[in-house]
Amino acid sequence: MTATSEYTAGLSGIKHPGLVQWVLEVASLCKPERVQVCDGSPAEYNEMIRAMVQQGTAIPLNEEKRPNSILVRSDPADVARVEDRTYICSRQREDAGPTNNWEDPEKMKAQLRDLFAGAMAGRTLYVIPYCMGPVESPLSKVGVELSDSPYVVANMHIMTRVGARVLERLGVDGEFVRGLHSVGAPLEGEAADSPWPNSKTKYICHFPETREIWSFGSGYGGNALLGKKCHALRIACVQARDEGWMAEHMLIMKLTNPEGVAKYVAAAFPSACGKTNLAMLVPTVPGWKVETLGDDIAWMRFGADGRLYAINPEAGFFGVAPGTSMESNPNALLTAASNSIFTNCAMTPDGDVWWESMTATKPANLVDWKRRPWTPQSGRKAVHPNARFTAPSRQCPVIAPEWESPAGVPIDAILFGGRRAKLVPLVTEAFDWQHGVFLGATCSSETTAAAAGAVGSLRRDPMAMLPFCGYNMGDYFAHWLKIGSTEGAVLPRIFYVNWFRQDDAGNFLWPGFGENSRVLQWVFDRCDGKANATDTAIGRLPEPADLNTSGLNLAPGTLEQVLAVDKAGWQGEIEPIRKHFAQFGDRMPAALSAQVDGLEARLKAGSCCCGSKHGK
């Protein structure tokens, strides 16, 4: 076993005494063979790739078809986030709330210390200093992940800013989020390593008061890349609550009209609702342009002018591969054309990757994600439904020039959305901020085959944060309301969209994809006071004539269907919404309960908010 003094020698480049002490404590517990401080250099990234290739974890892809890229295949038992093993270990159970798994922090740490004891034997402990957001931005936050996985190091290189410049920002006494990760597979004696080491026992634990993350047993995605969901959402939303800002599961897009005027939109959608597609939308409306600043997470703070300014804390895309194609999302596919990591995809005979719906014609033969020969006649999927690509944001063809602006970008509109076959109109504008928070708090989707639960069952996912809120969601709603009452605030308008409304035969009424730019045009013009909206019981909606449908060949009456307000159906929503809110008990803000009463009253009255048409 390496002596503690040798661990210390490897930390000579760290000036922060508290960080040095923590690394030594972890090394003493986990017993790694060596400690390596990551510098974030291309040479270091290539070193991680070589290590994975030599270990059998990764396969280099064809340099001509997919330059500087690899395919990784995980253990079939380690393929996605493990929500049932994810915990919020707040000091008080009530602070975690009813939507999170909770355990007493001291009890959980005692269990974890037993698991981590000797867990890194025979492996390298990588010290990964990372910055969520541009290193020079005052809106960014620093974290340090300690991990024994080169796969984690390589992915963190793409997804965050890693290395020496982060340590420089941290200085001698800067604050940082502490993340400890191990695959939980020590190498004892002469034991051979496996291509994808992991443990049957898995814990992903968050300690919000002390800003810590402890992750054991999984090497996959959000379980192991601790800067992503663990830090950027579950811990950051607690920091945001305490410090007066917002950490949200939202894309950020730049929308520019034909006159060259730009607005910035943040949007929160549950899974399978087209979030990444919207972030990289190719508009069908002539003269309009969409550029992306990020597809997953937005951190927002008030600027001196009272507006909310957003940064994307990530530096890469960790995208779901199946379904991504030149038809559905060409910009995502082009982003991953090189310098990318592919996980649990299939491999073509000429050394490229493939997944379902990537091409109109399936290849004649492949090696599937479980390393088995595959043909279209195999009767099974070639890739795992949660197969991923990790690609640098800078490679996206429509990345906005200001995506790394230290000041962030001012948000003009916030979109919420869900997948509903009936009831919810194509687009609704909130009456005001409080009503917008109500719309976000009642976000819902009917589950698809790719999501947990019976297909078609309704799942409430407030602000698309259900798996990612690091504290009691009743308090989270209250924080949104508090943000809205900030003195001098110039707040974004809030909208709710539903691209998925169907007719009685189950056909989608709205074409979606690039045609969603028509809805974005109305949102843009509403923010400028240039588009009409009519008040209804559920919010402000466009009339069919208010949407630009030029060149769109919709069947007669389709727009009326996608914009219809089914009052009887909405009356049926009242009790489920009350039940949804009731789970938060006395943590539920009275202002949102009053919103339910207001909706019910408007529906019973058979009238709208004020019965008028709004041009501004």
Any long-range contacts for 196-200 (C-beta under 8 Å, 24+ apart)? 196/57, 196/72, 196/73, 196/74, 196/75, 196/78, 197/149, 198/74, 198/75, 198/77, 198/78, 199/115, 200/77
Catalytic residue among 38, 131, 273, 396: 273
Beta bridge partners of 264: 254, 411
Note the pLDDT of residue 614.
58
| Contact criterion met (CB below 8 Å) for 426 and 562 | yes
| Contact criterion met (CB below 8 Å) for 472 and 411 | no
Residue 57: closest CA among 189, 156, 149:
149
Note the pLDDT of residue 454.
52
Half-sphere exposure (CA, 13 Å, Cβ side) for 332?
A: 27
Note the pLDDT of residue 451.
41
Work out whether the CA dihedral 56, 61, 67, 72 comes out positive or negative.
Answer: negative
For residue 575, give both structure tokens: 């009790």
Note the pLDDT of residue 611.
44
| Contact criterion met (CB below 8 Å) for 447 and 457 | yes
Model pTM score: 0.96
Beta bridge partners of 207: 212
The rounded distance, in Å, linking the Cα atoms of 135 and 130 is 9
| Contact criterion met (CB below 8 Å) for 205 and 112 | yes
Per-block average pLDDT, block size 10, for the chain (616 residues)?
Answer: 68 93 97 96 98 97 98 97 96 98 98 98 97 98 98 98 97 98 93 94 98 98 97 98 98 98 96 87 97 98 98 97 93 97 98 97 97 97 96 98 98 96 97 98 77 65 97 98 98 97 94 96 97 98 96 94 96 97 98 98 74 53
**Tokens 């087209």, residue located:** 274
Residue 336's contacts (CB-CB under 8 Å, 6 or more residues apart) are 69, 317, 319, 342, 389, 391, 395
Task: Based on the residue annotation, tell me whether 273 is a catalytic residue of this protein.
Answer: yes
Half-sphere exposure (CA, 13 Å, Cβ side) for 513?
A: 14
Note the pLDDT of residue 5.
67
Eight-class DSSP state of 451: S
